């Protein structure tokens, strides 16, 4: 099932193209060598562009504030498994993945489990040091330490112990059933290995702030992925070479440069003039993708596609002591506001029509699409349905055409979002819809600096439009323990404060059931309960533009669960 949308409509637009310069690198990373020999044609540098410079190259960032990217996690890291172009897990560092009800995946009567992974022979880190199952055990100890505090995140919250009976055998003991135990792959579901030979002694002796400031996490990063760092020029690029010891084969591309280009028009100019061969992770916006597609179609210049990235929606505030107006606590009012938004118009304004509309927290194009289609209540744009629901809730159109109530007065609600231009455009389009359909809306833009304040993010009175990465952690976050409040420092991902006892019970079942078909049924029920009570407005799934020049051989569309460059080690550059 494809979750990638190829561009089918083009817009004529003028964009100022700014040439992108490339400064020369000067330094080298510790433990690596740099060759100054003349390059042959086969050694041409393949250049990839991303928008933001990574703060760490680790597979799983040791701090929530560390920004990770799809490109960076794949280039420099290997995992126990990798998702292929069918979103199926395939062995990576492991020779094979555990199979349920065999000696490799045992489930005990009390719900505890054991999974065993046999690692491939002769694995090494980028610096040539032998890779061991003990590196996974050390990674588990690190991420679950009180200083890092990932013990409540998957899969750590289900793991009892990690052991290495021998260098090639990894044994994981689970305190409860965990459906993804076989592969432990995907955003926020990894069990990363860390190089003991570089970090174990320092982790035991250094204060955590000094430990996280080690150059290992950046310019001296040592991983197991297809490419290794040879030079990092801050603010400009990372030079890499193919890793000969890569678990599933040395990449065919010999040299790759990861370039940071913060301006999307500059990135577009660099792609058009041939300086950039691969762009992803928001280097190009939707508008630039359309322009590039139009230009490339004239001479088969390359491939442009959109990959589903984040859910975009608006959370209602449902904590009674914060909610204003109190009418938002009425599900009929919330449903009316959902019916009052034309998602197609919003999509066109913000994403040029390239973002799939959303009916739930996960896309129907993903592996859970069947469950979502079966379970989710759908709210198409329908002003008449919106007016009828408001009438049922005690509101009528007043002389100014806005809804009003004899007991509650005029219905006025504040809607917040960030100050980014696309967020402003999105809010303006939605507010225009609502005002046309009787909802008096006050628009508020939150500066980026304020958005980092947890109370600002969670203490809004009306609605807050935001983005959330597309993964299974999102629908299971609507539990009481995740509600931000003043007494917990406004920490928690359930910023709307919505919970439902039946939904919470289904979350527990969904997170502990091993059979996929049963989990589908549970998720369908979750989608039904959630959408029937309407605690959020699911707008759409913002795409990330990925582009590949015609001389790049190997990329292809992938499902939402798969990294678009999952098979980059197989790509050829001609």
pLDDT at 9: 33
Q: What is the pTM of this model?
A: 0.84
**How many other CB atoms are there within 10 angstroms of residue 90's CB atom?**
16
Helix/strand/coil for 213: coil
Q: What is the domain partition of the chain in residue ranges?
A: 21-260, 308-543
Give the position of tokens 């135990």.
181
Four-point Cα dihedral 69, 72, 73, 78, nearest 10: 170
- DSSP character at residue 428: H
Domain 308-543 fold is Dipeptide-binding Protein; domain 3 (3.10.105)
pLDDT at 64: 59
Indicate left, alpha or beta for 186 from its phi (over 0: left) and psi (-120 to 50: alpha): left
How far, in Å, are 29, 93, 202, 535 from residue 211 at the CA level? 18, 26, 7, 41
Q: Are 367 and 299 in contact (CB under 8 A)?
A: no
d(CA 356, CA 365): 9
- CB neighbour burial string for 305-330, b if at least 16 within 10 angstroms, e if fewer: bbbbbbbbbbbbbbbeeebebebbeb
- CB neighbour burial string for 137-167, b if at least 16 within 10 angstroms, e if fewer: bbbbebbbeeebebeeebbbebbeebebeee
How far, in Å, are 445, 455, 458, 468 from residue 490 at the CA level? 20, 6, 7, 18
> For 162-178, what is each residue's pLDDT tens digit?
999 999 999 999 999 99
d(CA 161, CA 146): 16
d(CA 343, CA 229): 43
**How many other CB atoms are there within 10 angstroms of residue 479's CB atom?**
17
> For 40-59, what is each residue's pLDDT tens digit?
445 689 999 999 999 999 99
Listed as ranges, residues in the chain with pLDDT below 70 are 1-43, 64-68
pLDDT at 13: 31
pLDDT at 40: 46
pLDDT at 197: 98
Q: Which residues are registered as beta bridge partners of 340?
A: none
- DSSP character at residue 411: -
CATH classification number, 21-260, choose in 3.40.190.10, 3.30.70.260, 2.40.30.10, 3.90.470.20: 3.40.190.10
pLDDT at 17: 32
pLDDT at 68: 55
- DSSP character at residue 312: E
d(CA 191, CA 457): 29
Give the position of tokens 């859910």.
311
pLDDT at 187: 76
Helix/strand/coil for 505: helix
């Amino acid at each position: 099932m494809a979750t990638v949308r190829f561009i089918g409509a083009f817009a004529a637009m003028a964009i100022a193209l700014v040439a992108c310069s490339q400064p020369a690198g000067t330094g080298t990373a510790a433990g690596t060598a740099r060759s100054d020999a003349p390059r042959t044609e086969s050694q041409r540098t393949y250049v990839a562009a991303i928008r933001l410079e990574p703060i760490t190259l680790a597979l799983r960032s040791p701090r929530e504030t560390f920004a990770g990217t799809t490109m960076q996690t794949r280039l420099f890291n290997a995992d126990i498994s990798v998702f292929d172009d069918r979103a199926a897990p395939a062995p990576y560092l492991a020779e094979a993945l555990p199979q349920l009800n065999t000696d490799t995946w045992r489930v005990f009567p009390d719900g505890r489990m054991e999974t065993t992974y046999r690692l491939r022979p002769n694995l090494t880190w980028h610096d040539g040091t032998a890779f061991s199952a003990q590196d996974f055990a050390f990674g588990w100890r690190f991420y679950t330490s009180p200083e890092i505090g990932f013990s409540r995140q998957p899969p750590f919250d289900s793991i009892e112990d990690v052991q290495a009976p021998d260098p090639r055998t990894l044994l994981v003991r689970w305190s409860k059933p965990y459906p993804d135990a076989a592969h432990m792959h995907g955003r926020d579901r990894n069990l990363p290995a860390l190089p003991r030979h570089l970090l174990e002694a320092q982790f035991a002796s250094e204060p955590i702030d000094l430990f996280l400031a080690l150059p290992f996490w950046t310019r001296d990063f040592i991983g197991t992925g297809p490419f290794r760092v040879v030079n990092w020029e801050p603010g400009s690029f990372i030079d890499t070479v193919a890793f000969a010891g890569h678990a599933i084969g040395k990449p065919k591309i010999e040299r790759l440069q990861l370039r940071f280009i913060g301006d999307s028009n500059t990135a577009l100019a660099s792609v058009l003039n041939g300086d950039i061969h691969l762009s992803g992770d928001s280097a190009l916006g939707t508008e630039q993708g359309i322009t590039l597609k139009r230009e490339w179609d004239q001479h088969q210049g390359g491939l442009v596609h959109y990959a589903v990235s984040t859910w975009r929606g608006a959370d209602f505030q449902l904590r009674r002591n914060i909610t204003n107006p109190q009418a938002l606590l009425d599900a009929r009012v919330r449903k009316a506001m959902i019916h009052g938004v034309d998602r197609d118009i919003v999509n066109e304004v913000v994403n040029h029509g390239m973002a799939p509309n959303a009916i739930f927290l996960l896309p129907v194009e993903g592996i859970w699409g069947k469950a979502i289609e079966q379970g989710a209540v759908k709210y198409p744009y329908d002003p008449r349905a919106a007016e009828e629901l408001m009438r049922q809730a005690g509101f009528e159109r007043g002389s100014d055409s806005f809804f009003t109530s004899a007991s509650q007065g005029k219905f006025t609600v504040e809607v917040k979002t960030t100050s980014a231009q696309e967020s402003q455009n999105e809010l303006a389009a939605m507010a225009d819809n609502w005002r046309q359909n009787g909802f008096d809306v006050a628009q508020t833009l939150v500066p980026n600096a304020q958005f980092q304040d947890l109370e600002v993010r969670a203490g809004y009175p009306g609605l807050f439009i935001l983005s959330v990465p597309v993964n299974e952690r999102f629908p299971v976050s609507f539990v009481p323990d995740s509600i931000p409040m003043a007494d917990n420092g406004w920490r928690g991902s359930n910023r709307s404060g919505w919970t439902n006892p039946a939904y919470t019970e289904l979350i527990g079942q969904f997170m502990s059931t091993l059979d996929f078909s049963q989990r589908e049924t549970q998720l369908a029920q979750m989608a039904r309960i959630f959408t029937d009570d309407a605690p959020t407005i699911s707008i759409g799934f913002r795409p990330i533009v990925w582009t590949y020049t015609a001389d790049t051989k190997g990329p292809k569309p992938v499902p939402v669960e798969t990294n678009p460059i999952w098979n980059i080690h197989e790509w050829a550059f001609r």
